[in-house]
A and B are shown apart, each in its own frame.
Chain A
């Protein structure tokens, strides 16, 4: 297949279609509206259902209905819309039907702005809606990686009857990069055994998330959590760069990780033994890898476009094995490589143990960075 110039939002829409997406329901919200628009002409072109819903509430519930029929279905939205979808996501999780969500994250909280951010991390990785379950959350850092992850996500969610979230910041949705599209798959013919298609008597099926008897609900919760254990075992993903002899590690996902890579390369050219760890699966979190690798490190700098959300997961994984510090920009700002390079240089000079949480150290430092 040829490499073409693709806008992120268009690219993930096409990738999903090539994975055999059977229905798309969405709602306009910046910075992912291009995906809705792309779907609005591409899906009917292929004779597949497309509908702009009345709201994100409508969209996620349309996805819920379609998912119950066993169809490959997805929606996409941005942070405020994701908040609206939480109810639906929880119901989908409780009903144990698979679906894919692309969350193109913008500045917040509240209406925020339309600039790129990573501030949905807690909402998705530690939430996704009420109840005992975890969505799978994968964070690509380029248009190509987004294409590959979205394409493969449908098989994953069907294997585990889970919710798969592809979380990209607004810049990945908006930017244009060369990417190669995967091959077009046919719409699946096999219908899962649990799907609702129309049947009576012994063939009758009901899909619900309601389990009034606590003992029954617990059985469902256990089933969901056992599958989660499998997901933790099988679906952890991350990339490491220059880590073999690194004494300092930058940990960043998505665009933050990508920008950090530039800083890491520059620092390496200056002889600083620094590497980058770029988690791709945020849920399940690569905690074992981080724990193991931290043993060789003097310090670790978590870089995010939020107030330090993955920071807490890193600290929990790493514990006291190395010094963890934090650098972040919020509100839709992307850090420049220079900012991260400054941090690398600071850490390279040596670290003093912190007596306050790294987030508080960073917040103090932000007083001089932000005028």
Chain B
């Protein structure tokens, strides 16, 4: 194979500076890593790291603060939007974002996220939806699909007894205070590119003081779905998108004018 001299080549893609150069604890193929990378790229591109404070939540992403070269605080399970509110109200010129999974945000944290969206809190929420409680071993989450087998729904999610999955983006978008609520997916390159644009728009929303922004990212969990990373992306595409359509659920009119 011909070796190419990288000295004379241009770098087309590289690890973002705001992503600390350490190996993460996430499973092979887990799209948490992808989401982290996209957020770091956006912080780099917008030059925000020096003034950003992240709020880590509880779940597989509890160690988010080890991966970003920004200040971080650690919130109790579900409380990140409230903690972010505390930080943002005292330091309104900082960029404050939460990074939350589905169990954290829309199970124990329903109160906090609805209130933050309702208040139009000028924070950004990165919401990782992988349809289960990953860190604790794959229990059913509010976002688990009907019929989905998890460790706490061993016969499959029976909607009669266990209810229907919660569609967070649709629900939060009904709030007046919500300014940018979109759902994207991380299952292939095309969608990852679109996800990055959405994350950029979400941080633009905050920086322009336009209110509450959230990007829901459909994500894989190969380990708890008992699939290979590649199969997990296929399962996401075939099963999750039908239930959680990719789309824009709330977009502040001013955002439509922004060209990036």
**Does chain B have a CB within 8 A of A230?**
no
The stretch of A12-20, A58-66, A152-160, A170-178 in contact with B is A58-66
Q: Are A58 and B115 in contact, with the CB atoms below 8 A?
A: yes
**Does chain B have a CB within 8 A of A253?**
no
**Does chain A have a CB within 8 A of B50?**
yes
Q: Are A57 and B82 in contact, with the CB atoms below 8 A?
A: yes
In the complex formed, the residue of A with least CB distance to B87 is A65
Shortest distance between the CB of B114 and any CB in chain A (Å): 8
Q: Are A57 and B87 in contact, with the CB atoms below 8 A?
A: no
The verdict on A201 contacting B69 (CB below 8 Å), with A62-B85, A64-B75 known, is yes
Complex CA gap A51/B82 in Å reads 11
Q: Are A198 and B73 in contact, with the CB atoms below 8 A?
A: no
**Does chain A have a CB within 8 A of B62?**
yes
Chain A proximity mask over B67-88: 1 for CB below 8 Å, otherwise 0: 0011111111001001111111
Residue among B72, B73, B84 facing the most chain A CB atoms (10 A cut-off): B73
The secondary-structure label for the interface of chain B is: helix
**Does chain B have a CB within 8 A of A183?**
no
Q: Are A209 and B55 in contact, with the CB atoms below 8 A?
A: no
CB within 8 Å of B: which A182-226 residues: 196-201, 204-210
In the complex formed, the residue of A with least CB distance to B49 is A200
Q: Are B82 and A49 in contact, with the CB atoms below 8 A?
A: no
Contact pick for A198, options B52, B83, B84, B89, CB 8 Å: B52
Q: Are B71 and A198 in contact, with the CB atoms below 8 A?
A: yes
Complex CA gap A201/B71 in Å reads 10
Shortest distance between the CB of A71 and any CB in chain B (Å): 5
Complex CA gap A49/B72 in Å reads 21
Shortest distance between the CB of B134 and any CB in chain A (Å): 17
Q: Are A61 and B82 in contact, with the CB atoms below 8 A?
A: yes
Q: Are A198 and B72 in contact, with the CB atoms below 8 A?
A: no
**Does chain B have a CB within 8 A of A73?**
yes
**Does chain B have a CB within 8 A of A22?**
yes
**Does chain B have a CB within 8 A of A133?**
no
Shortest distance between the CB of B205 and any CB in chain A (Å): 19
**Does chain A have a CB within 8 A of B241?**
no
Return chain B residues, CB-CB under 8 Å to A95.
Answer: 73-74
The verdict on A91 contacting B71 (CB below 8 Å), with A53-B82, A65-B84, A65-B85 known, is no
Q: Are A71 and B90 in contact, with the CB atoms below 8 A?
A: yes
Complex CA gap A25/B87 in Å reads 12
Shortest distance between the CB of A89 and any CB in chain B (Å): 11
**Does chain A have a CB within 8 A of B94?**
yes
Complex CA gap A128/B104 in Å reads 24
Contact pick for B83, options A54, A55, A65, CB 8 Å: A65
In the complex formed, the residue of B with least CB distance to A24 is B89
The verdict on A69 contacting B79 (CB below 8 Å), with A54-B111, A62-B85 known, is no
Contact pick for B90, options A22, A91, A199, CB 8 Å: A22
Q: Are B86 and A206 in contact, with the CB atoms below 8 A?
A: no
Q: Are A208 and B74 in contact, with the CB atoms below 8 A?
A: yes
Chain A proximity mask over B17-29: 1 for CB below 8 Å, otherwise 0: 0100000000000
Q: Are A61 and B83 in contact, with the CB atoms below 8 A?
A: yes
Complex CA gap A25/B115 in Å reads 14
**Does chain B have a CB within 8 A of A68?**
yes
Q: Are B94 and A209 in contact, with the CB atoms below 8 A?
A: no
**Does chain A have a CB within 8 A of B248?**
no
The verdict on A198 contacting B74 (CB below 8 Å), with A65-B83, A204-B69 known, is no
**Does chain B have a CB within 8 A of A23?**
yes
Contact pick for A65, options B69, B70, B82, B111, CB 8 Å: B82
Contact pick for B70, options A51, A59, A91, A198, CB 8 Å: A198
Complex CA gap A200/B66 in Å reads 12
In the complex formed, the residue of A with least CB distance to B96 is A65
In the complex formed, the residue of A with least CB distance to B115 is A54
**Does chain B have a CB within 8 A of A88?**
yes
**Does chain B have a CB within 8 A of A37?**
no
Return chain B residues, CB-CB under 8 Å to A145.
Answer: none
CB-defined A-B contacts under 8 Å, sample of 5: A54-B114, A68-B73, A196-B53, A200-B49, A204-B71
